[in-house]
A and B are shown apart, each in its own frame.
Chain A
Amino acid sequence: GAVVSQHPSRVICKSGTSVKIECRSLDFQATTMFWYRQFPKQSLMLMATSNEGSKATYEQGVEKDKFLINHASLTLSTLTVTSAHPEDSSFYICSASLVRGLDSPLHFGNGTRLTVT
């Protein structure tokens, strides 16, 4: 079946540095990718939707200059957390959709645990 690979699985960085997280669709072309954030013991909150070749659409309250999303190809989307702070520590999960459509299944990566010290 479809596989989404997310890398790295864990990352620890110092405050003020930037971290890039990659999300790849391994055996299908993903026209749309989604980035979620999950706080401990809480649900997933959609951060942004990225479509290949166009700008990402950010959810209300998400700083687009802090969370840079690039979806340059049909198999790769990246999330860069710029000037990270301890409050950015969280579990970030990407998902990918094969085609545009209301009933297209989403495939999730295994997530990236970011710890900012």
Chain B
Amino acid sequence: GDSVTQMEGPVTLSEEAFLTINCTYTATGYPSLFWYVQYPGEGLQLLLKATKADDKGSNKGFEATYRKETTSFHLEKGSVQVSDSAVYFCALQRGAQKLVFGQGTRLTINP
């Protein structure tokens, strides 16, 4: 079945550091790919998405490129801020709007 694998956390960085959170997926066909962010005590917010191969999703300085050849959708940000501290979920969607989530990566940014 479909699955999403994220790099294990927690990830701790200093402010202004470069961030990469790896995400790979297994799915038949051509799923849409997403990154969601969950701040403490809150639900999920869509951060960015890509719906086809080579698409790049971007938002709030975060970027991820849909790489079909490597079945990956790694999340990157050039300079993180303390306010980026949260849990990040990679997810795929294939038919019937069912989202399959990765296990989540907790990110902590220290000032």
Contacts and interface: CB of A to CB of B under 8 A. Distances in A.
Does A pair with B?
Answer: yes
B103 A42 contact: yes
Instruction: Select the residue from B97, B104, B106 with max chain A CB neighbours within 10 A.
Output: B97
A93 B44 contact: yes
A102 B31 CA distance: 9
B101 A43 contact: yes
B32 A46 contact: no
Given A43-B89, A43-B102, A103-B32, A108 B95 contact: no
Instruction: Select the residue from B44, B89, B98, B99 with max chain A CB neighbours within 10 A.
Output: B44
B46 A44 contact: no
Contacts of A102: 32, 93-95, 97
B104 A106 contact: no
Contacts of B106: 41
B103 A106 contact: no
Interface string A80-117: 00000000000001010100111111101111000000
A78 interface: no
Given A108-B45, A110-B43, A111-B42, A43 B103 contact: yes
Instruction: Select the residue from A32, A100, A106, A109 with max chain B CB neighbours within 10 A.
Output: A106
Give the interface size class of chain B.
Answer: 20 to 34
Contacts of A93: 43-44
A77 interface: no
Interface in A1-25: 4, 6
B97 A106 contact: yes
B97 A104 contact: yes
Interface string B80-98: 0000000001000111111
B42 A110 contact: yes
Interface of A: 4, 6, 32, 34, 41-44, 46, 49, 93, 95, 97, 100-106, 108-111
Q: Which 9 A-B pairs have the closest CB atoms?
A: A108-B43, A110-B43, A108-B44, A43-B103, A43-B101, A111-B43, A44-B101, A109-B43, A110-B42
14 contacts: A6-B43, A32-B97, A42-B104, A43-B101, A43-B104, A44-B89, A93-B44, A95-B99, A101-B97, A102-B95, A105-B49, A108-B44, A108-B45, A110-B43
